[in-house]
Structure 1
């Protein structure tokens, strides 16, 4: 169990994502700072009271928003950092962005795609300073549908840097208590933002978007002990959900524009993020698992999903809620997620199954994704707001962008898995440092069963435990068999060995670390009655 920062640094070096010193990049950064282009034919929107809403500690602010309400409709102004003005193909800054693919986020530090002097400085939409922005102006009707979309470059002046948590506290306190939010020009926008976000959530449900419960895993270095991690899983608040909706809307409308421009202008080289629907074989497996789970647990028929008869999103939305079924719902949602295929960036437009739309682009993170920089450039060229490069050059660049975008997602996924492992090692390592009688039993839910292991989602911690069947057989003195991927059943029923079924509340205790196989041996038991 080594120092987590040291191990994360080693991972960064192995992935090759730490940008080397580059005098050309430094010279271009200095030139950008000296001449940021704030008077370069921009629409003046400094009178619009934009604000940014992001995580408390975020310093690379990609988006600022302002929402107005006109009767039952809305106008969303979504200002995005104008990174494509500074990182242009052929520059050292673009070369760095293309090599990295994206910014990378790890506990306690980040590796920005663009140098900090840009990503946290003149490109970031910081408060109380003039900034360049690409502004999406989207008009949304009473049903939550976008009926008009326009894009232009502007000069903006953000009024405040707000956080998800702070704005949520403001709403929870009756829309008062934070002077930045209390300002009339800001408060009116925030109220309209909340109404628009709520409307878009309902519109998403009408598109068949699955109502999956998503938790945010917050992992950071302990400020009091940098050799340790702090980890907590929490449900996203309303402000985060509303903000997600306006970001998704921007990306969807950006894809529509690229599709329309591409039909009439062969010089527009768009990139789309495509998420294909689950394979039929995966859906057949899901149907069988849910059938077996309903039979094993004696559930009502509404817990069974049938292909061809039930829309999956509508079926999930109709499941009973509340504390009594929360663990069962958690396990069911995990099985639904297992059916999903990975999304990927492509040159050809295709469906985004999870979002229920025919096309999706990445416009909303231009400082953090090379694909965002390139998509802005192509959109602005298609709208005749900037002069186009040669078609052949852009075709070659697009292929490089797609490759680096997909590779960046793979790298971030590897980082996330490494962080999960570090969290688990620290959590269970702390337990093993105690005398056996004092080691805690950690509560969780059985969310998956396989012939060789059981998956347990720990309460309050966004990582899963793998409990190996061979260890349970040793602990309980009997062989176990897996039943239809929903239950692990003991062969001997006269030795007090428990069964484990998906959705069961359980308790897990670390027994020992097996260095030879680099894994923990975990004792699993049914949850004990409190009191």
Structure 2
């Protein structure tokens, strides 16, 4: 046995050894392979060898000692776990021999985690599950997890949606307080509130939407006046019906917006509100926030006003029926409308054309694109994908919504207090220099434009074209843009070419629009305005991006299952993204996007990060270029589709014309 002096000497030796080590604190960051990194608190990123990486999970806080190998390269050795993560995650249940595991769907963690017998919840091999780390691997390198929910098998209809919602921790069920508050509301509440409102039920408002739409949040009418039109945009008014910051509104803020996903909508508001009491259903008395706008014969917006009113929609019209009417075809569903409503519909079409022309001349229009709509079979898989171009009716509704939203932005800005605006800052700051270089290399009036200013950006987009025989300037510029973001202070929306912008026209579907309703309503009623903090705004934007990611992940999963049905048929498409390894092609007919790697093409290609081109001896590939491709494969783990070039191509861009 050691005597007291020997133990003391041992402790002192250990202390001296520890003192001599280069100890640092950092956070674990694992890679897609077996090794990882430690991001030190001083900003350095240090390599973590495989045998060390086995003992940690992403996000762990650790103390490490730094050593160097024979080549002088530093690496980290784990000394102490300061904070162990125990993440909840989704994954797929796997059985190998006598071992039962979960293959986790966690960024940077690619090793299977063991599930002990009592923690398996009767899962079957291949099932998708929710799991929780129950034993951290730091001590032994062998972690354990327990299954908390079996989501279902890969063959279960709708598993893609169920799994993705679970992955991002998004619930579909309504909490009891929300249901209780919704069930307490009824038509009598609308009638009670209607007493003190302007009655516009005699005006021929109509809704224009898809046939299947139930949450109708806008109704329109227009009349011709001297020098133009009087346009009225009626927007559903849930802000007046709901209790401020009640259970429903708190959940709406949490859900942030309705998610339009394959298999059905995940609504922001309970259906009794979104589809019934607040929806502008034909023949029903409904609360509405009205924006009345004077539009001149050139499409410019003049004076406007907001009012809290009640309306009765005269009809629910489909896009196709209205598009036919605007093209001089009277659909059967319109024949029963009174002449007053038909005349209003005609004036809406005329006013919308003028407003669109004004925006084309003085602001910016988004490039017209088709919409791709998935049709699912009884198993929840894609049966077909329909390509749908916007009709004149879609453009009519768009112009009316943009006009009303512009007025809302001006209204809030005039109050001088904190509002809620959508700001788009144009080209990303780090890309402005590249665009300037690109413009200098071109001949013509754009050479001296400053892409870093709102006016310069607008002029560039107004005059730029995307042409396969020259440089796809417009497409290149649009690839360099910032994301639009919300702000409390008005600033230009460069993407639309407008001095300021907000949205309030979708309060049944977007919480920010509902909040803008509250801001406008409180001004009209001379009450104190509701407040959002900077943290609230940041969270709303993060939650919006998360929901968009969820929808994208579900769609991409289904598309990867559908892609092999393309077979060996040649598909026409356009290049939508160019990087050094290859380019992304969007198919014209289905909208599927797949990657073409340059490894499959003969010869070497050089990537130009300014012009976004790949140039070889004979060919150049660039944005917006038409190509023909054939389905090659699907990477199911990464959910990526791969194409290869077809043998016969359309007239390709030569290397000489693109440089």
Shorter chain as denominator, the TM-score bin is: 0.7 to 0.9
Quick one: distance in 2 between partners of 1:127 and 1:328? 51
Alignment match, 1:510 = 631
In the TM superposition, residue 516 of structure 1 has moved relative to its aligned partner by 6.6
Alignment match, 1:234 = 388
Name whichever structure is richer in strand by fraction.
2
Q: How does 1:463-474 map to 2 (within 5 A)?
A: 463-470=592-599, 472-473=600-601
Residues matched between the structures, number: 491
Quick one: distance in 1 between partners of 2:319 and 2:334? 16
Quick one: distance in 2 between partners of 1:336 and 1:527? 30
What's the CA shift string for 1:448-479, capped at 9, x where partnerless?
A: 32211212221123343222223x25xx3x43
Verify the 8 A CA contact 2:560 2:634 in the aligned structure 1. no
Q: Which has the higher contact order (CA 8 A, sep 6+)?
A: 1
Alignment match, 1:382 = 523
Among candidates 159, 162, 165, match of residue 9 of structure 1:
162
What's the CA shift string for 1:369-419, capped at 9, x where partnerless?
A: 11122211121111226x43xx6xx33x45565234313420232134324
Quick one: distance in 1 between partners of 2:486 and 2:403? 18
Unaligned runs of 5+ in 1: 295-300
Q: TM-score of the superposition, structure 2-length normalised? A: 0.68
Quick one: distance in 2 between partners of 1:312 and 1:346? 21
Alignment match, 2:579 = 450
Quick one: distance in 2 between partners of 1:179 and 1:33? 30
Structure 1 window deviating more from structure 2 (139-148 vs 400-409): it is 400-409
Quick one: distance in 1 between partners of 2:176 and 2:573? 52
Alignment match, 1:217 = 371
Quick one: distance in 2 between partners of 1:45 and 1:243? 20
Among candidates 268, 271, 294, match of residue 139 of structure 1:
294
In the TM superposition, residue 208 of structure 1 has moved relative to its aligned partner by 3.2
Alignment match, 2:241 = 86
Among candidates 238, 261, 281, match of residue 126 of structure 1:
281
Structure 1 window deviating more from structure 2 (415-424 vs 118-127): it is 415-424
Name whichever structure is richer in helix by fraction.
1
Say whether 1:171 aligns with 2:336. Answer: no
In the TM superposition, residue 33 of structure 1 has moved relative to its aligned partner by 1.6
Verify the 8 A CA contact 1:371 1:401 in the aligned structure 2. no
Say whether 1:428 aligns with 2:563. Answer: yes
Quick one: distance in 2 between partners of 1:334 and 1:229? 32
Alignment match, 2:508 = 367
Q: How does 1:47-196 map to 2 (within 5 A)?
A: 47-175=202-330, 177-179=332-334, 183-196=338-351
In the TM superposition, residue 65 of structure 1 has moved relative to its aligned partner by 0.8
Unaligned runs of 5+ in 2: 1-153, 652-659
In the TM superposition, residue 314 of structure 1 has moved relative to its aligned partner by 5.2
Say whether 1:282 aligns with 2:425. Answer: no
Structure 1 window deviating more from structure 2 (166-175 vs 147-156): it is 166-175
Verify the 8 A CA contact 2:208 2:219 in the aligned structure 1. yes
Q: Look up the SS of the partner of 2:380 in the other structure.
A: strand
Quick one: distance in 2 between partners of 1:333 and 1:273? 23
In the TM superposition, residue 229 of structure 1 has moved relative to its aligned partner by 4.9
Q: How does 1:36-51 map to 2 (within 5 A)?
A: 36-40=189-193, 41-51=196-206
Q: TM-score of the superposition, structure 1-length normalised? A: 0.83
Verify the 8 A CA contact 2:575 2:625 in the aligned structure 1. yes
Q: How does 1:268-417 map to 2 (within 5 A)?
A: 269-279=418-428, 281-286=430-435, 288=437, 305-308=446-449, 313=458, 317=462, 332-384=473-525, 387-388=527-528, 394-395=530-531, 397=532, 399=534, 402-417=537-552
Q: Look up the SS of the partner of 1:200 in the other structure.
A: helix
Structure (1 or 2) with the larger CA radius of gyration: 2
Alignment match, 2:614 = 488
Quick one: distance in 1 between partners of 2:265 and 2:470? 34
In the TM superposition, residue 223 of structure 1 has moved relative to its aligned partner by 4.7
Verify the 8 A CA contact 2:628 2:650 in the aligned structure 1. no
Quick one: distance in 2 between partners of 1:223 and 1:169? 30
Q: Look up the SS of the partner of 1:28 in the other structure.
A: helix
Quick one: distance in 2 between partners of 1:56 and 1:246? 20
Verify the 8 A CA contact 2:168 2:550 in the aligned structure 1. no
Alignment match, 2:412 = 258
CA RMSD in angstroms, aligned pairs only:
3.1
Quick one: distance in 2 between partners of 1:500 and 1:489? 6
Q: Look up the SS of the partner of 2:190 in the other structure.
A: coil
In the TM superposition, residue 528 of structure 1 has moved relative to its aligned partner by 3.8
Verify the 8 A CA contact 1:272 1:349 in the aligned structure 2. yes
